[in-house]
Structure 1
């Protein structure tokens, strides 16, 4: 064959592939919603008007796996979701819903892909769980589960990074607002890991939730709703079939909180507590759900507030409020730390009575900006250390070592 004709033919094939690839994306979308039907390579190829052989080659070259392997992944992941429900359907029903004619073939296929039978999967405690956000790591650990994958960062998730990085096998990147990685990067890693389940907050778009749901059975915890960490923990526990572990953790925490309340009331009496946040070159009044739960509900301390959350607050405003003690949340970046250093030397700051009395307590973003059972337990320990000089530490010891005994 003459070089000119060969080059033209190759170029023609390249143009044809480039023209077909956008339709392959449409085919994947079609497969996502028709996986329960008896799809064949010939049917799929006809939808993009190419031969079956060309379709097979181009699909694999475009997406890194064959169309039938992609279809199998869709069906198996959907089956996992059915099997993970509190009251799973019969295997025959699941098989039909995900595109297999009978439960016997489905069971063989499932075991080949997953490494265990559907029945074993349904009964398993599902240890290969991924946490999509740092706070979800704190919920899984409270249930006695070390995540297969979770966001880890030495600056923003220091506790999980230094205490669990050898146990959490795969590190996800933090995304917005930390911006060290992207959703797509984490989704690609998760797709390769094929976890048994994913636990995430509900602050994701519908498209992102759909992407995660195709990777594995997923629970999107309604963190945007004003529920407490106990309610969130129980929701996750039902999904992962670990309700006993959830109640065990809650009982243990409540017992420690009751004991801590007695000690803190004896040490602080009616002292008023003000929380401020230092960010950049600004000082703001501040509080969040974790702080409210631990300090003003569990420990029953008296809150001093300017009445406007996250509003700028000046040293003279603090002086007028006259709190007995001040918690200062200093954000962990250089500008905030520099401003905190300068503020401590300012004449205005030094006129505040709590400052003159030495009742200023710097606290860090970790754990005070996280809302999870582990973070709340750490806040309780830290508050007791700050205010009484005593730290229960019982929770942290048991968190590191495994599950929490009911009679802690």
Structure 2
């Protein structure tokens, strides 16, 4: 048994070397017999072992690399079809065209003309920004607990659901390869190995480093050629802000606001980037403290009573100890002394969208603030989940 185990380990390492060899030489004429020979295995055993190790045959892996590289050349160069065929490992341009159409669904020339873009991401925020541009990604993180809005609306429309917690796992790599995207959007810095892997299979990567959601949206819009859609979304949002600010001010006047986060039996005075943008920049509400940046500051109930905000927005961690303490807190005399509590101005916020920072999340926060503070539903008719009216994406 020990001898078999050592043999399996050696084969696994050898197969990984073979996979790297295919990636580096996919433009060369390669055969199963040749790959089996340099791996020291028989042709039949090599084919079975490769598929068992990596979930696809060596032939399918080679084809995916070649077609991925071809898509990249079709998007980014003006090379003739026969030149692209040779560069990716096909001596016959007609065979290449048939193979390309079988894998992609359209001919290379049609692909080049349409510049059809399949977009993927490992980021929830990037998902929100793509949807604001009217683009449903072919692969994105969906989780019923951590991204319920996208999960409920898009679990059937987004074909590949990647892991929200371990972006660069082997499983996510396999899922991304199966989705066959043209462009992958990052909003968190990718590793060098991830970038190398994307380049190897012909996927263009776009890393969005901007901190402000408007700039993020604009940068993604440039990458996916949706600038007019992005600008329309931002302009529509700005118009909504002006109207919401007037209506909310009529109700709240000079009231002071505080956002609290409850975790266990601890209270935190809290403000993330989205809350800062919507509440204190766009709607120009008055914060109970003078801080103008994001913060997550532990606060005692006594100090909260001293600050005594007129309105409280409350984010409650979704675990049993926190929920139990929330019930206890509402019966404490010191809690009942707060102006916000006496006047019934305590609003419980869900973690989604208030912990997400994207164009869609910001827009939803604005709508929720208007509804909570004025009772007016900003969306009296069925609301589009993504896209905008001008592009017919509703």
Q: Above 0.5 in TM-score?
A: yes
- Among 257, 260, 277, the residue aligned to 1:276: 260
Correspondence for 2:79: 90
Correspondence for 2:141: 151
- Among 99, 102, 105, the residue aligned to 1:109: 99
Correspondence for 2:23: 32
Secondary structure in structure 2 of the residue aligned to 1:326:
strand
Let me know the Cα RMSD of the aligned residues: 3.4
The equivalences for 1:193-212 within 5 A come to: 193-211=179-197
Which deviations, in whole Å up to 9, do the C-alpha atoms of 1:330-364 show, x marking residues without a partner? 12222222222222222222222222232222111
CA distance 1:324–1:45, change in 2 (3 Å): same
- Contact 2:97–2:108 (Cα < 8 Å) also in 1: yes
Query: 1:54, 1:168 → 2: CA distance?
Result: 36
Query: 1:153, 1:215 → 2: CA distance?
Result: 27
Correspondence for 1:235: 219
Query: 2:127, 2:30 → 1: CA distance?
Result: 39
Query: 2:92, 2:213 → 1: CA distance?
Result: 42
Gaps of 5+ in 1: 1-10
Q: TM-score, normalised by structure 1?
A: 0.81
Query: 1:126, 1:333 → 2: CA distance?
Result: 44
Q: CA deviation at 1:279?
A: 1.8
Structure 1 residue 81 and structure 2 residue 66: aligned?
A: no
Bigger CA drift: 266-275 or 104-113? 104-113
Q: CA deviation at 1:53?
A: 5.8
Q: CA deviation at 1:124?
A: 3.6
CA distance 1:74–1:313, change in 2 (3 Å): same
Bigger CA drift: 40-49 or 277-286? 40-49
Q: TM-score, normalised by structure 2?
A: 0.84
Query: 2:313, 2:30 → 1: CA distance?
Result: 62
Which deviations, in whole Å up to 9, do the C-alpha atoms of 1:286-319 show, x marking residues without a partner? 1112112211222122223374821211122223
CA distance 1:387–1:13, change in 2 (3 Å): closer
Query: 2:143, 2:129 → 1: CA distance?
Result: 18
- Contact 1:194–1:216 (Cα < 8 Å) also in 2: no
Q: CA deviation at 1:207?
A: 3.1
The equivalences for 1:298-309 within 5 A come to: 298-305=282-289, 307=291, 309=295
- Contact 1:202–1:220 (Cα < 8 Å) also in 2: no
Structure 1 residue 404 and structure 2 residue 394: aligned?
A: no
- Among 330, 335, 343, the residue aligned to 1:357: 343
Bigger CA drift: 63-72 or 123-132? 123-132
The equivalences for 1:2-401 within 5 A come to: 19-41=10-32, 43-50=34-41, 55-84=46-75, 87-92=76-81, 94-101=84-91, 105-124=95-114, 126=116, 128-175=118-165, 183-211=169-197, 217-222=203-208, 225-305=209-289, 307=291, 309-393=295-379, 397-399=383-385
Q: CA deviation at 1:259?
A: 1.6
Which deviations, in whole Å up to 9, do the C-alpha atoms of 1:372-400 show, x marking residues without a partner? 11111110000111222213127971226
Bigger CA drift: 126-135 or 281-290? 126-135
Which deviations, in whole Å up to 9, do the C-alpha atoms of 1:165-222 show, x marking residues without a partner? 343344444325xxxx993333333333434444343254333454556566253443
Q: Which runs of 4+ in 1 moved over 6 A?
A: 11-15
Query: 1:94, 1:301 → 2: CA distance?
Result: 58
